[in-house]
């Protein structure tokens, strides 16, 4: 089959035409997530049609369109369940009806982290393993779980996707948009500036010169032995290590995949998280930790499996 794939993010919407585990064509457009989703549907549709023209086909000739969306979703009904200041009208938009009207093809909606994990499972670093957890380290921290070959979803679409809100500090700081002491409140990009300021070495650190502190800056300065950045990197890796251990104890995976832009520093991150995984209780053997292989294409490459699961 040839499938359309659409990975809707906070900054960009990535579109692809995929077949047999390969991205044939791809493009992206600005997400415009401060505007209603309904306003983005026409440019999105036109971009899909242009993409198909380049490959000498049409959306209507595709087996369907898979959409990854950065929120909790109701997969059965194809509806967005939650809204976090992006695409304020998301929950009111009937995406399957839109795809049916415009192209007469089925649309499958999935949480973005789950769709990226499906892509890595079928075509990337999760191949050959039916018990997987994926952690995506971005502005927020997303997780997804495949357990005995099934995507874990739960009654309300929450199971497995809220690892960023597991509590790793029962006495911890409140964070923006999350519970006190959660992984996100203790390590998300949004929380980084406040955490940095609380560290003793901060005033003498070159971190003070960074206008918008993010992981990239922390890992870059830590690699240059800036003491404040080293301390912040160590604290952040301790939080992520706690997450790894909790995810192993919760979900019984055989492999943990880690994705997100900061995985350019995979050579530092993966060994630390692998060490954490070794301290978890797994009498059956050893959970491996690996970087995702597919980068930005992971969600696009989950499209074919998702459409097959939903409509075959």
Residues engaged in binding a second copy (CB under 8 A): 72, 81-82, 130-131, 147-148, 152-160, 162-163, 165-171, 178-182, 186, 238-239, 241-243, 245-246, 249-252, 254, 279-284
Whether the CB-CB separation of 128 and 146 falls below 8 Å is answered with no
Whether the CB-CB separation of 270 and 291 falls below 8 Å is answered with yes
* Least Cβ distance, residue 281 to a second copy (angstroms): 6
Backbone angles phi, psi at 172, to 5 degrees: -95, 180
Residue 152 or 232 having the CB closest to a second copy: 152
* Burial degree of 284 (CB within 10 A; 0-12, 13-18, 19+): exposed
Report the distance separating Cα 185 and Cα 81, nearest Å. 22
Residue 122 or 153 having the CB closest to a second copy: 153
* Least Cβ distance, residue 239 to a second copy (angstroms): 5
* Least Cβ distance, residue 127 to a second copy (angstroms): 16
Backbone angles phi, psi at 74, to 5 degrees: -95, 105
Report the distance separating Cα 115 and Cα 76, nearest Å. 15
* Least Cβ distance, residue 10 to a second copy (angstroms): 18
Q: Which helix (H) or strand (E) holds 73?
A: strand 73-74
* Burial degree of 264 (CB within 10 A; 0-12, 13-18, 19+): middle
Report the distance separating Cα 224 and Cα 220, nearest Å. 7
Residue 80 or 229 having the CB closest to a second copy: 80
Residue 54 or 279 having the CB closest to a second copy: 279
- Output the CA–CA distances (angstroms, integers) from residue 97 to 43, 93, 285, in the order listed: 17, 9, 47
| Location of structure tokens 């890992």 | 219
Residue 52 or 113 having the CB closest to a second copy: 113
Name every residue whose Cβ is closer than 8 Å to that of residue 169 and which is 6 or more positions away in sequence: 181, 185, 186
Report the distance separating Cα 200 and Cα 194, nearest Å. 12
Residue 124 or 253 having the CB closest to a second copy: 253
* Least Cβ distance, residue 245 to a second copy (angstroms): 5
Residue 55 or 238 having the CB closest to a second copy: 238
* Burial degree of 76 (CB within 10 A; 0-12, 13-18, 19+): exposed
Residue 120 or 254 having the CB closest to a second copy: 254
């Amino acid at each position: 089959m040839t499938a359309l794939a659409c990975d809707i993010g906070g900054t960009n919407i990535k579109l692809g035409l995929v077949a047999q585990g390969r991205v044939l064509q791809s493009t992206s457009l600005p997400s415009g997530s401060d505007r209603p989703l309904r306003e983005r549907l026409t440019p999105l549709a036109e971009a899909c049609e242009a993409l198909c023209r380049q490959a000498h086909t049409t959306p209507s000739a595709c087996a369907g369109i898979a959409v990854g969306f950065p929120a909790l979703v109701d997969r059965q009904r194809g509806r967005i369940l939650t809204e976090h200041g992006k695409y304020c009208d998301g929950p009111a938009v009937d995406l399957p009806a839109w795809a049916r009207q415009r192209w007469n093809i089925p649309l499958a909606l999935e949480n973005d982290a789950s769709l990226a994990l499906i892509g890595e499972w079928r075509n990337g670093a999760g191949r050959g393993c039916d018990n997987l957890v994926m952690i995506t380290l971005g502005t927020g921290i997303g997780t997804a779980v495949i357990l005995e070959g099934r995507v874990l979803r739960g009654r309300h679409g929450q199971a497995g996707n809220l690892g960023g809100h597991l509590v790793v500090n029962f006495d911890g700081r409140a964070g923006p948009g999350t519970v006190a002491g959660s992984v996100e409140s203790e390590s998300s990009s949004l929380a980084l500036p406040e955490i940095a300021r609380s560290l003793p070495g901060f005033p003498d650190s070159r971190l003070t010169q960074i206008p918008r502190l993010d992981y990239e800056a922390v890992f870059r300065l830590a690699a240059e032995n800036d003491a404040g950045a080293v301390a912040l990197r160590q604290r952040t890796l301790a939080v992520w290590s706690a997450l790894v251990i909790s995810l192993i104890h919760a979900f019984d995976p055989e492999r943990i995949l880690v994705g997100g832009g900061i995985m350019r520093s995979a050579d530092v991150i993966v060994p630390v998280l692998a060490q954490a995984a070794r301290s978890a209780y797994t009498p059956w053997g050893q959970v491996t930790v690996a970087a995702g292989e597919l980068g930005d294409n992971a969600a696009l490459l989950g499209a074919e499996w998702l459409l097959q699961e939903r409509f075959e």
